[in-house]
Structure formats: C-alpha cells, structure tokens
Amino acid sequence: MLYRDYKTGVGLRPKHYHLFEEALPKGIHWVEVISENYMLWENHRNDRPLKNLLRIRPHAPVALHGVSLSIGSADSLNKNYLKCLKSLIKDVEPIMVSDHLCWTGLNRLNSHDLLPIPYNGTTLKHVKERVDQVQNFLGRTILLENASSYVEFAHSEIPEWDFLVELSRKSGCGILLDINNVYVSARNHGFNPMTYLRAIPPALVGQVHLAGHLDKGDHIVDTHDRQVCDDVWKLFQWWVNNNGLQSTMIEWDSKIPEWSVIHSEVSKVERIRKRSLEQRRPNNIRSNREAEWNVSL
Amino acid sequence: MERFSLKQVQQQFLRALSGNVSPIGLFTDSTHFSIYQNSYYFTAQSVLKMDFEKTARVLGANEFSNLVRRYQTHYPSRSWTLGLLGEHFSAFLRIDRIRRRVPFIAALAEWEWAITTASQAATPSPLKVREDVFKKSIRLSPAAHILKLQWNVHRSVAPKRIKTYLAVVRNQVCVETLELQPQEHRLLESIKNPVSTESFLNFVAKQTTATKLKKWITRWSQNNLIQFE
C-alpha cells in the first residue's frame, strides 16, 4: 500500500487554535490532534473540544494520533476505548489514524506512558493479532509509531526496526516513522540510527514525525518541548533524499512556544522537501552518498 | 536465562514502576529506568495539580508532591484517560495523614473535583418548559454536582467549620458554584436519578410553600441545575 503525501503538517494545540479557525496558516497542509483529547467517554462528554475541531475540519485535513491504545499490552483490548475512538473517527473523518508501538498498562492499571515491549517472535504474533482486531473493528488501516525508549528488554531477540517492519508486513498496518524517536533510542541504546532508517521500506511509511528532545549527555529524554536538533534534521534530509516525500509533521507537546517558532520549524521541513524534489530532477541526480547522514555516534 | 511471558514481563515492569524499585533481570541495562519512574509520578502530579489547583496551593509544592506519591500507591490509575485520575483524591484525603494538619483539605478537594467534572460534562441544553413537562421525568443535570461539606471552602482560603451546601454547575460558558439551602440540597439530592416530574412536584409541595417552590424551581432552571427527559 502506498500512502498519500499530505505534505507538511503540525500538531494542533489549543494555544494556536485561533490561527486555524478561518484557514490553515501558510505552509501547513494538515493537522494532527491527540485522539483522547476529543473522545467523548462515559460520564465525561465535554463536546467543546470536538465542536472546535469540527469547525476547522472543513478546511483542515486532520490526523488522529492516540496515546492509549496499548497495542503491546498482555491485557485484552479495551472495547470501551475502541468504541470511543470509532465514534470519533466517524465524526472527524480523519486522513490518518495512528498510535504507538508500546503498552501503557496491565490488569487495567494505567501508567499513562508509552512503555517499550520486548521484541521477539511471541510478542510479534501477539501484537499482530491485536492490530488485526483493531483494524477490523475500526474498518481501516492504522499507523503505528516507533516510541522512544530508555531500556531494552533482556528478552528481546530481534531489533526494533525488524519487529516494526515485520509487524507492518504481517498485519497491513502502516508505520509512523518518528525520526526523533529513532535518534533518541539510538543514542540511549548505542545503535546507529542509519541502520534503523535503512531497514524501513518507505512504502510502509504513512507519516513522518519530527520533534525536539532534551540531551542529557549520556542519554536523551524525549520531551517534545523544543526545536528539532541538527542531527535529526540531517537524518530527515537523508530520509527524504533517499525515500521520497511523505506526510511530515512537527510535534510540539509541552512548553508550547509562540506560533512563529513552530512555523519556523515547519518552514525547515518545507525547505528540505523542496530541495529533495529539485535533486530528484533527472538532470540533477547526485550520489546518495553525498547527502548521506555523516554524524558519528 | 529464564523465559517470562509477556504478561509476567509487564507485571514486573509495572511493579518496579509504581513501587519505585529497581527491576531485576528484566533489562539489559536498567540505568535509565528511573526516567519511566519519574514520568509516572510527574504525569500524575501535573494532572492533579491542574484539577486541584487550590488544594495544591494550600499544601505547597513539596507536600503536594509527596501526597500525590501516596495517592498513586493507594489509587493507581485504572482508566485510559487522565481525566479520571483525581476521582478518588478527596476520599483519599479523608484518610491520609494530611487531614490532621489541614482539616478542611478533603472538603476543598471535593469541591474542586466537582468543578473539574462539571467542566468535562456535555454542554447542557437550555431548559425549555413545555406543557408536556408533567409527563416527563425530572433529574439533576449531568453537568451539575451537589455537595454537602463540613467547611465553607468556596468562601475563603482560610475556611470555617460550617455545614455548607453547594451546587457546582456548568452553564454554556463556565462552571459556577451556588450556595443552597439545606432543604433545597435535599430535594436536588432526591433527583440525582430521574423521577416523575409530577410526583416530584407533589412531594416538594408537601415540604414547602408555593412561593418558595416557585423561587427554587426558577433558580434551578435558570442555572441549568435540572433537566427534563
């Protein structure tokens, strides 16, 4: 399955809502929202966020990005959650629906965090079956994002990138490739991010995320509260030069700055995309090596 | 190496996460596991600080932070939504040691939780009283909460020990707190679940004067406290 390139998007946050009411700001072609913030659930049916979203929906393609599907949990899937999500999908008619390759809780206890899973054949089979159930229930394909991580399981037998690709191939779900998360996990676990990116077939990727993180020297914390770092920009540049253009968005979740700061990040995405298109013209072909990401870890 | 099932691995992970202990044999290197442990508390703390802003201010940052840790141990989150994280907070404050130092703290948290949940309720539709209203049921609006507190926490940061009856209700734009008469509180309490409007009005008429009844019904309907269905 080839995914459509919706060009450049941004995470829509309440602070900047007013800028999206009449039309999309210059350079923005779609927005992504956190699904759970718009879902109407038992006893808590505040429909104001959803009404606000539906007001901008006619001129703004919307991607729904969840954080609570818990696809990697050993628990059974939460039917109530899935029903709320399905109802939201019906209302919003999103261009994409995504969540994370992770688990958030067990025995109905919730950590409200994106926790890593052990990568092995047993888990792959388990998660694949759950993706099947989710996609059948929702009646559409979902994208799963590689989450950043700070520990690796002793029970992992295959690299994360192989697990993600196999999961996508076996279940038909797409990959939401978060290049910042690849970089964060690479630094935390000591692998080369290029090994990860080279292993991902671009045809499986439905969306690309870029975000900022906090570099603590010996490790990185994925904070989404600042600009994308130079190394991640270089990885993104390598990705588009070698794999073509995919829907790409800037994710900024805390310490939300003025719009001009986010817009400047979006403009960088646009510039890299444009440059990549120019390089792809037949009389301007150059070696991939020239554009290769060359920062050593 | 012993082979654990996914469930066993996740059980161990959660135990280490909430118990703030080091997991043994689970990871290749657990140096940075504390990032997950910190995040577990930090998320709860920031959500509860928003939902219980005044409670947090009265206690101060350190006391509130320690309280959240104790609360999470007693009442770990059981929902996928952070919106329900504070659901047992006031009940916990009634048994936690903090009540000895700040005796009104549970009442304050109960009032704040009513405000939080009222703000998360569906937008109430304006009440339309038509002729067929007597054939319908009357109920307390889902966007309203009625409280019976031992402290007048809504009045001041240094509340007095006075029996206080409140209604917290969301109107079209904001959440308001109204003081109720004890009898008014009792009547609203009786329609937490829908009851026949006719029988409710007959019951109320026996309890009070026609003037008072008219005044209350007008006030309840003007403030979206009741609805017919």
Of B27, B43, B142, the CB nearest to A154: B27
Q: What is the mean pLDDT of residues B52-62?
A: 97
pLDDT-derived band at A14 (thresholds 50, 70, 90) equals very high
Residue A208 structure tokens: 């690309």
Q: What is the mean pLDDT of residues B137-153?
A: 94
Residue B130 pLDDT greater than 80, yes or no:
no
Higher-confidence position of A294 and A96: A96
- Asked if residues A142 and A171 have their Cβ atoms less than 8 Å apart, the reply is no
pLDDT tens digits along A90-130:
999 999 999 999 999 999 899 999 999 999 999 999 999 99
| Chain-chain contact of B27 with A151 (C-beta, under 8 angstroms) | yes
Q: How far lies B157's CA from each of B93, B105, B116, B145, B167, in Å?
A: 17, 11, 19, 21, 19
**What are the sequence ranges of the domains in chain A?**
8-291
* Closest listed residue to residue B52, CA positions, set B105, B113, B107: B113
Any chain A CB within 8 A of the CB of B35? yes
Q: What is the ipTM of this complex?
A: 0.90
What CATH superfamily classification does A8-291 receive? Divalent-metal-dependent TIM barrel enzymes (3.20.20.150)
Q: What values do phi and psi take at A238, rounded to 5?
A: -60, -45
The C-alpha of A43 sits at a distance from chain B's nearest C-alpha, in angstroms, of 7
Residue A282 pLDDT greater than 80, yes or no:
no
Helix (H) or strand (E) holding B210: helix B210-222
The full length of chain B comes to 229
- Best residue in B81, B120, B170 for a mutation probing chain A (most A CBs within 10 Å): B81
Q: A187-196, B24-33, B85-94, B110-119: lowest mean pLDDT where?
A: B24-33
Residue A293 pLDDT greater than 50, yes or no:
no
Residue B125 pLDDT greater than 80, yes or no:
no
Q: What is the mean pLDDT of residues B54-63?
A: 97
- Best residue in B2, B8, B10 for a mutation probing chain A (most A CBs within 10 Å): B10
Q: What single-letter amino acid sits at A79?
A: K
- Asked if residues A147 and A181 have their Cβ atoms less than 8 Å apart, the reply is yes
What is d(CA A259, CA A293) in angstroms, rounded to the nearest whole number?
29
Instruction: Give me the torsion for CA of B137, B141, B145, B146, rounded to 10°.
Output: -40
pLDDT of residue A228: 98
- Asked if residues A201 and A243 have their Cβ atoms less than 8 Å apart, the reply is no
pLDDT of residue B18: 85
pLDDT of residue B23: 83
What is d(CA B104, CA B98) in angstroms, rounded to the nearest whole number?
10
pLDDT of residue A297: 35
Q: How far lies B50's CA from each of A91, A270, B86, in Å?
A: 29, 36, 10
pLDDT tens digits along A133-167:
999 999 999 999 999 999 999 989 999 999 999 99
Residue B215 structure tokens: 């005044």
Residue A292 pLDDT greater than 50, yes or no:
no
Residue A294 pLDDT greater than 50, yes or no:
no
Of B25, B31, B81, the CB nearest to A41: B81
pLDDT of residue B228: 85
pLDDT of residue B129: 65
Q: What is the mean pLDDT of residues A274-296?
A: 60
Helix (H, G, I), strand (E, B) or coil at B161: coil
Sheet of B226-228: strand order equals B195-196, B137-140, B226-228
The C-alpha of A278 sits at a distance from chain B's nearest C-alpha, in angstroms, of 42
Residue A288 pLDDT greater than 90, yes or no:
no
What is d(CA A152, CA A263) in angstroms, rounded to the nearest whole number?
35
pLDDT-derived band at A289 (thresholds 50, 70, 90) equals very low
* Closest listed residue to residue B216, CA positions, set B174, B170, B190, B181: B181
pLDDT of residue B1: 46
- Asked if residues B222 and B160 have their Cβ atoms less than 8 Å apart, the reply is no
Strand partners of residue B165:
B148
Helix (H) or strand (E) holding A160: helix A160-171
pLDDT tens digits along A52-63:
999 999 999 999
Cα-only R_g, chain B: 23
- Best residue in A84, A85, A150 for a mutation probing chain B (most B CBs within 10 Å): A150
Residue A132 pLDDT greater than 70, yes or no:
yes
Residue B156 pLDDT greater than 50, yes or no:
yes
pLDDT tens digits along B163-207:
999 999 988 778 999 999 999 999 999 999 999 988 888 888 888
Q: What is the mean pLDDT of residues B61-88?
A: 95
Helix (H) or strand (E) holding A251: strand A248-251
| Of A261-270, A278-287, B115-124, highest mean pLDDT | A261-270
On chain B, the residues whose CB falls within 8 A of the CB of A115 are 10, 13, 36
- Asked if residues B107 and B149 have their Cβ atoms less than 8 Å apart, the reply is yes
- Asked if residues A129 and A98 have their Cβ atoms less than 8 Å apart, the reply is no
Question: What are the structural domains, with CATH classification, of chain B?
Answer: 1-102 (no CATH), 124-229 (3.90.930.50)
Q: Are strands B195-196 and B137-140 parallel, antiparallel or unpaired?
A: antiparallel
DSSP string, B41-107: HHHHHHHHHHHTHHHHHHH-HHHHHHHHHHHHHHS---SSSGGGTTTTHHHHHHHSTHHHHSTTHHH
pLDDT of residue B209: 85
Helix (H, G, I), strand (E, B) or coil at A193: helix
DSSP string, A257-278: --HHHHHHHHHHHHHHHHHHHH
Residue A287 pLDDT greater than 60, yes or no:
no
Q: What is the mean pLDDT of residues A226-255?
A: 96
pLDDT of residue B128: 67
For chain A, give the mean pLDDT: 93
On chain B, the residues whose CB falls within 8 A of the CB of A74 are 5-7, 10
pLDDT of residue A286: 46
What is d(CA A224, CA A253) in angstroms, rounded to the nearest whole number?
5
What is d(CA B17, CA B21) in angstroms, rounded to the nearest whole number?
7
| Chain-chain contact of B14 with A106 (C-beta, under 8 angstroms) | yes
Between positions 87 and 126 of B, the ones with CB within 8 A of A are: 117, 119-123
Contacts of A224 (CB under 8 A, 6+ apart): A211, A212, A213, A251, A252, A253, A254
Tell the residue number behind the tokens 């959650």, with chain if given.
A81
* Closest listed residue to residue A42, CA positions, set B145, B226, B83, B173: B83
Of A106, A151, A188, the CB nearest to B10: A106
The C-alpha of B141 sits at a distance from chain A's nearest C-alpha, in angstroms, of 12
What is d(CA B166, CA B179) in angstroms, rounded to the nearest whole number?
5
Q: How many CB pairs under 8 A join A and B?
A: 117
Q: What is the mean pLDDT of residues A266-274?
A: 97
pLDDT tens digits along A168-178:
999 999 999 99
Helix (H) or strand (E) holding A178: strand A174-178
